[in-house]
Every structure is written in C-alpha cells, then in structure tokens.
C-alpha cells in the first residue's frame, strides 16, 4: 500500500511519465504497477491522474 500511495501522490503532484512513476514508487514492472494501482483506485494510473487534476 505504501508504494501505491507514493504512486498516487506522484501522479497528482508531478508531470513524470507513468513509467517513471512506476519506477520511482518501487514497482518491479509496469504490469505490476498497473495491476496494483487499478485494484486500489478502481481505474488505471492515467485515469487517476486525469480525475485528480
């Protein structure tokens, strides 16, 4: 959950690319990042970013 929370923060407060955020938050793969964020938020990382802005 800490990695997902960090990813959420980065999605809303930075202009980093989604792939950069996945790496920065400590996810080993992009598919793992999408899986965890989608499960926690009910939407993809890009959708989460769009809704938060």
Q: Which pLDDT does position 34 carry in this prediction?
A: 97
* pTM of the model as a whole: 0.91
Rounded Cα distance, 3 and 41, in Å: 13
As a residue count, the chain comes to: 53
Task: Find out whether 21 and 32 touch, Cβ atoms under 8 Å.
Answer: no
If pLDDT is split at 50, 70 and 90, which confidence band does 42 have? Answer: very high
Find the mean pLDDT for residues 26-49.
Answer: 97
* Residue 53: pLDDT over 90: no
CATH of the domain at 20: 1.10.10.60
Q: Which domain holds residue 17?
A: 2-52
Q: How many domains does the chain have?
A: 1
């Amino acid at each position: 959950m800490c990695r997902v929370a960090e990813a959420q923060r980065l999605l809303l407060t930075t202009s980093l690319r989604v792939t950069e955020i996945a790496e920065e938050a400590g996810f080993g793969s992009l598919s793992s990042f999408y899986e965890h964020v989608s499960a926690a938020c009910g939407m993809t990382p890009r959708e989460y970013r769009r809704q938060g802005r």
